Amino acid sequence: MKIAILGAGMSGLSCAITLEKHGIIPTIFEKRNCVGDRFVNAEAMFSLLDRPIKDSLQFLSKNYDIHLKPISAVNKLVVHSKKQIGSIDGKIGYTNVRGRYENSYECQLEKQLITKINFNSTCEYEEVCKNFDYVILATGDGEYASHLGNYKCDLTCTIRGVTVEGKFVTDIPHVWFNYDVIPKGYAWAIPFSEKEANLVIAYPDYPDNIKLDINTIWEKFYNLACKDLNQEFKITDKFEITKYMMGICNIPKIDNTYFVGNCFGVLSPGLGFGQFASILTGIYSAYDICGIGKYEELVKPLFKNYNHSLVLRKFLESLKDNDLDFAIKNLDNKLIDKIIDMICSTDSKVNFLEGVTPLMKLWNNYKNIKD
């Protein structure tokens, strides 16, 4: 049985590791010269987005023998709006780093792999599908799926980020929802050491936003972040992505081709993360090849989570700055603070996002009619 994996990111490596555990050695093609050979990007895995699973890293270790060490457990998430600051406290997830960093998730997965990776590969899908029994498309975006007519793009977005030097508490990331600064978007400050962090903005490419100057948006946010975190940062690295597609494939498998990772559509439209779902698609595709489960059935919860996240994105976009101020102020309300912290905890199984999705849909429909 000949299996080709196009892409040595998290989903492709997870697929290869799982195949190896069942006695199958795949062929891995990677166009870059090493795993994680791109910009450094700190990210977060919040258990609230992965329900009914409570602790994503424990789940991967216990059920699939895939072991990942995060930068830190998140013990507090500080949320900023235009006029308010609130927080969610307790163990609510993990931070990690991606890209060309020695302890990135990609590098950790590579160390668990036996198979040699073919770096600097120029192989394309059209070539490998003729010479292999199965093809795993793990190329990191929806381009291949789109070219094959198997991708539903819900929006595109612009992303800009920098690595900064400063003083940070590694278990406390920050997020901003301030539409006066980043229209319909958000920003993150995620530390990956006590001296380094990523500052990232992301916003949808709607007509009104396309007219805006990204340099102006970035300057406003950067000054705001320096003010809110009470320090001047030194920028050491930067990246920018334009017209990045956020969507999901129509069907997860066509003939003997599997769509995994961002080629499947694991990136959350709500908050922009998708590491856990990416790893799962890699594992699930390997399970299908090994005859352990059906890929189409295994990924059904991932389709559901994506759609819930898309409703969340539309809901967030419908809010005004004063709505966000009200919500974030109440994060520390004595009456509901403990309830919010409990729901968001990695000890909770409450599928809050699924539960509130019908209410968010009603609100979104109301706003569409009103506007």
What's the rounded mean pLDDT across residues 260-280? 93
Instruction: State residue 56's pLDDT score.
Output: 95
Residues 180-205 pLDDT 10s: 999 999 999 999 999 999 999 999 99
Residues 154-172 pLDDT 10s: 999 999 999 999 999 999 9
Higher-confidence residue of 54 and 73: namely 73
pLDDT-derived band at 51 (thresholds 50, 70, 90) equals confident
Model confidence at 177: pLDDT above 90: yes
Share of the chain above pLDDT 90, in %: 84
Residues 107-154 pLDDT 10s: 999 999 999 999 999 999 999 999 999 999 999 889 889 999 999 999
pLDDT-derived band at 3 (thresholds 50, 70, 90) equals very high
What's the rounded mean pLDDT across residues 258-275? 93
Instruction: State residue 285's pLDDT score.
Output: 98
Instruction: State residue 369's pLDDT score.
Output: 77
pLDDT-derived band at 81 (thresholds 50, 70, 90) equals very high
Share of the chain above pLDDT 70, in %: 99
Residue 338's CB: how many other CB atoms inside 10 A? 12
Instruction: State residue 367's pLDDT score.
Output: 77
What's the rounded mean pLDDT across residues 80-106? 94
pLDDT-derived band at 328 (thresholds 50, 70, 90) equals very high
CA dist 52 and 352 (Å) reads 9
- Mean pLDDT, the chain, integer: 94
Model confidence at 37: pLDDT above 80: no
What's the rounded mean pLDDT across residues 51-80? 96
Model confidence at 349: pLDDT above 90: no
SS (HEC) of 156-209: EEEEEEEEEECCCCCCCCEEECCCCCCCCCEEEEEECCCCEEEEEEEEECCHHH
Model confidence at 36: pLDDT above 90: no
Pairing of strands 134-137, 3-6: parallel
What's the rounded mean pLDDT across residues 38-63? 92
Q: What DSSP letter does each residue of 99-115 carry, written as one string?
A: SSSTT-HHHHHHHT--S
Instruction: State residue 138's pLDDT score.
Output: 96
Higher-confidence residue of 102 and 91: namely 91
- Contact residues for 108 (Cβ-Cβ < 8 A; gap 6+): 67, 68, 69
Query: Of 310, 318, 281, which is closest to residue 140 (Cα–Cα)?
Result: 281
Delineate the domains of the chain, giving CATH numbers in brackets: 3-370 (3.50.50.60)
Instruction: State residue 371's pLDDT score.
Output: 66
pLDDT-derived band at 101 (thresholds 50, 70, 90) equals confident
Answer yes or no: are the C-beta atoms of 8 and 35 closer than 8 Å: yes
What's the rounded mean pLDDT across residues 29-46? 90
